[in-house]
Chains A and B, each alone.
Chain A
């Protein structure tokens, strides 16, 4: 048969060679496809130059920017008087050419502008109404929205005012196209003009259990009848905050990344975080003929120039979640702005599983940052993280070593919270530590007014940590956890008085106290005054829901940081040094030591803020904390799943706690050896 099929040996050999090549190609492609690509973006090579639209050193904030007939113009709030608004014209090199003061009125001020036959301004008045006026005062139309305002006028004199997802004109509100799916709604995200035509980016949103979620973005164009027509769907389903177009290419900003879209292809132009820019700070953008992009940020102008690799060292920081924690993104942005030798790239994975897959497939990162300390603990056990015991930065006596010791495992120190906070969780016995105690009094008042759902209350309380129950055998069967569930369950049905009585009934000695924290130097003097009505010695009562004794260390929203084994320890230390520097603390405005969930305090002792007896007692209080209070997402999920039946009245609180404990026991058994 072989002889019949193949007439010559040469044909047989050729076929064998082809088969072998096919196999090799499939193996290569399989190998390439196995790499778990992060959901974040690769850093496209791009450099950035920052410009200030003001000549002096005055503080300013950019509200709007437009290209006018005479060039570029920026609307800024300028100077020590925060109610002074100026319209600044710019030269070609983005330096200020001139400025006109538009307003110094606190109640009536411009929020956007556009140039037509005359200058159009969009004013917000004392009733939070927005009115589009000509400079001579004639009002064209008014709306009641007051957020994210921008203004545009086309060549026909039609004015478009965009605010709060809607577009208004002199003729009334512009109807937005209907979405393709019933039940979904369309919101406008931005409007821009290209070659005389007005475009808008509309987001189609669908209601999910967690809230409205963008499921599609459309590029819409205003037709000849001045109606918006639903156009091409863009290959991106995240919120678009700014957009522009040039020569048929659309540029837009979404989630800290600049994209370009042309001929159906979406490309990444730049990762804004790696350039020291937050995406939500972009007010306006323009694409230029030389290939650069001009972004108007709230605090400066940024000119992005795509270019070849500049040779800066790249620090790769991995995290996971629907988006990066705000504190982390701000820190990376700030670091990138201040550093010329290093660029930190923040890679955000959609879930812990994808991050794990990426690490397991051999992807190398320098730092990993997560809010779930159990993740880093397991990474340390698996050798993913490098020990930090020898890092000189962390051995300094200027840091709170008790916090680092609380993070230490049997094998050493592998992670720590650069921005911790303390949670006051104590037994019913009060702690009296002198008059300064009054400054650390906590209250439950903030819970009463902010939440309207039992699940929200539960979320809020669980954010204080669950390790008090997790670390004890049958901890979830403890009375304190049952009381917590009952508190959440009874929340919505009680008024303030009933709630107060219920809380006092749970822990008779617990009383509501005034919330206070040391927020600035001046607050120190409060302690010397008889400010609180509790008497000379205030007592500090705990949250009534936890059986723990002592202060507990938590992360305040930045996350816990670990350095990866095999990553650049030197570069990672540079970044950590920046995080723990006085310079960064000043930028954050962190100079306090509150004892509540938020905000945070610095890991480095601020000796110049507190001194003498006050400082010593304050540090003693912080240094008394020796236990890390972690949040386990898996256990929290179990709690949410089981409390549903209790909140809806199907089961009692004891059964609910037993179910939680049973499932948590399996989780804990899995983690153990």
Chain B
């Protein structure tokens, strides 16, 4: 026994044990419990197969939440990527007040959510600043919390909060593009957009993938701001997947909650997998160049 422990393999196993134990107890076991709840009946705890999933997919609230979350992601992710990239490109140029502008873009990262929510409520209330401006301009005031415009209000909040961080990532990636290639292309007569699409885009494609993935994850997780703005049961346009999961957690409906969590995880894995596949194909082309 002593000899076995003293070998390299034995020592390695011993030192890995705490980490492994932690991973098993804090990650693998909870995940197993989630799968267990998703596959069992909530009365008798007997194996129920895919019945919970089938019931979940027929639940109108879940379908509404999934639709709203999908729409929000479809709006938020491209907007976040494109706008943050444009901001990064803008900040690469020699502009006066560039550092102050960068600070202004980054500062929403440090503002507490509750403060942001309060400001948004003042801005977008039925009698708030935006509606007052619209009224003065002769337009009808909008119901920002209950109509379809609610999505754009949340999109604006999401972009305002997250653009700074994504912009930082792109700035870092753009600074890694070899200057010589850009200069050579410029000498050869390539314009700025051609240089961007033919050179810079390829070099920053891993960062684009990364920003897309984290934007996607952040968009799927939007909940806190909407909950503080509109409560546990907001209007139809604002009811998101995490609202559904929050209320099922509070009502102890663990089967529904775990089934929803697994479906959400699978959807995210699928989408992120597709993104990685696209990037690997696109990136392979870049390497061959």
Contacts and interface: CB of A to CB of B under 8 A. Distances in A.
Interface of A: 2, 9, 12-13, 16, 19-20, 22-23, 27, 352-353, 356, 359-360, 378-379, 381-384, 634, 637-638, 641, 645, 650-651, 659, 662-664, 666-667, 669-670, 672-673
A273 to B, nearest CB: 27
Interface string B225-248: 000000111111001000010011
Nearest to B232: A634
Interface stretch (B13-21, B70-78, B102-110, B180-188): B13-21
B3 to A, nearest CB: 11
Contacts of B233: 634, 638, 663-664, 666-667
B18 A670 contact: no
Given A378-B252, A666-B236, A673-B55, A641 B146 contact: no
B252 A27 contact: no
24 contacts: A12-B11, A16-B17, A19-B18, A352-B250, A359-B252, A360-B252, A378-B251, A378-B253, A381-B42, A381-B43, A382-B42, A382-B252, A382-B253, A383-B42, A641-B231, A651-B126, A662-B146, A664-B233, A666-B61, A669-B59, A669-B60, A669-B61, A670-B244, A672-B59
Contact of B236 (A356, A379, A637, A662): A662
Contacts of A645: 126
Contacts of B156: none
A645 B126 CA distance: 9
Given A9-B6, A651-B126, A659-B235, 5 more contacts: A20-B17, A379-B252, A383-B43, A634-B233, A663-B234
B176 interface: no
B14 A16 contact: yes
A664 B236 CA distance: 10
Would you list the 3 A-B pairs with minimal beta carbon distance, nearest first? Answer: A669-B61, A669-B60, A670-B61
Contacts of B234: 663
Chain B CB count within 10 A is highest, among A359, A637, A673, for A673
B21 A23 contact: yes
B18 A20 contact: yes
Interface in B74-100: none
B280 interface: no
A381 B255 CA distance: 12
Contacts of B21: 23
Contacts of B42: 381-383
B64 A666 contact: yes
A90 to B, nearest CB: 52
Contacts of A663: 233-235
Contacts of A651: 126
B22 interface: yes
B263 interface: no
B16 to A, nearest CB: 11
Nearest to B56: A673
B25 interface: yes
A19 to B, nearest CB: 5
Contact of B250 (A9, A356, A637, A673): A356
B5 interface: yes
A557 B254 CA distance: 31
Nearest to B63: A669
Interface in B99-127: 126-127
Interface in B141-183: 146
Contacts of A19: 18
Interface in B40-63: 42-44, 55, 58-61
Given A27-B25, A634-B233, A670 B15 contact: no
A609 to B, nearest CB: 42
Interface residues of B, number: 37
Nearest to B25: A27
A641 B233 CA distance: 11
Contacts of B254: 360
Contacts of B244: 670
A351 to B, nearest CB: 9
A12 B13 CA distance: 13
A12 B6 CA distance: 9
Contacts of A356: 250-252
Given A20-B17, A650-B126, A659 B250 contact: no
Contacts of A662: 146, 235-236
A359 B252 CA distance: 9
A13 B5 contact: yes
A451 to B, nearest CB: 25
A23 B22 contact: yes
B127 A669 contact: no
Contact of A669 (B44, B64, B251): B64
A359 B251 CA distance: 11
A659 B248 contact: no
A645 B235 CA distance: 15
A659 B145 CA distance: 11
A65 to B, nearest CB: 46
A19 B253 CA distance: 38
A12 B5 CA distance: 10
Contacts of A673: 55, 58-59
Nearest to B22: A23
A95 B18 CA distance: 67
A189 to B, nearest CB: 33
A23 B23 CA distance: 12
B70 to A, nearest CB: 17
Nearest to A16: B14
A379 B21 CA distance: 35
A672 B234 CA distance: 18
Contacts of B146: 659, 662
Nearest to A411: B43
A247 to B, nearest CB: 47
B226 to A, nearest CB: 13
A181 B43 CA distance: 51
A373 B162 CA distance: 43
Contacts of B11: 2, 12
A2 B60 CA distance: 60
Contacts of A2: 11
Nearest to A374: B251
B25 A670 contact: no
A632 to B, nearest CB: 11
A536 B229 CA distance: 58
A176 to B, nearest CB: 34
Contacts of B55: 673
Contacts of A641: 231
A360 B146 CA distance: 34
A353 B236 contact: no
B59 to A, nearest CB: 7
Contacts of A672: 59-61
A670 B252 CA distance: 13
Nearest to B251: A378
Given A382-B42, A382-B253, A670 B17 contact: no
A181 B127 CA distance: 32
Given A360-B252, A673-B55, A650 B127 contact: yes
A664 B253 CA distance: 19
Chain A CB count within 10 A is highest, among B25, B58, B61, for B61
A659 B147 CA distance: 10
Interface string B192-224: 000000000000000000000000000000000
Nearest to B254: A360
Contacts of B17: 16, 20
A549 B11 CA distance: 78
Contacts of B14: 16
Contacts of A353: 250
Contacts of A381: 42-43
Given A382-B253, A663-B233, A670 B59 contact: yes
Chain A CB count within 10 A is highest, among B14, B42, B59, B233, for B233
A667 B126 CA distance: 24
A16 B251 CA distance: 43
A383 B41 CA distance: 11
B191 to A, nearest CB: 51
Chain B CB count within 10 A is highest, among A13, A382, A666, for A666
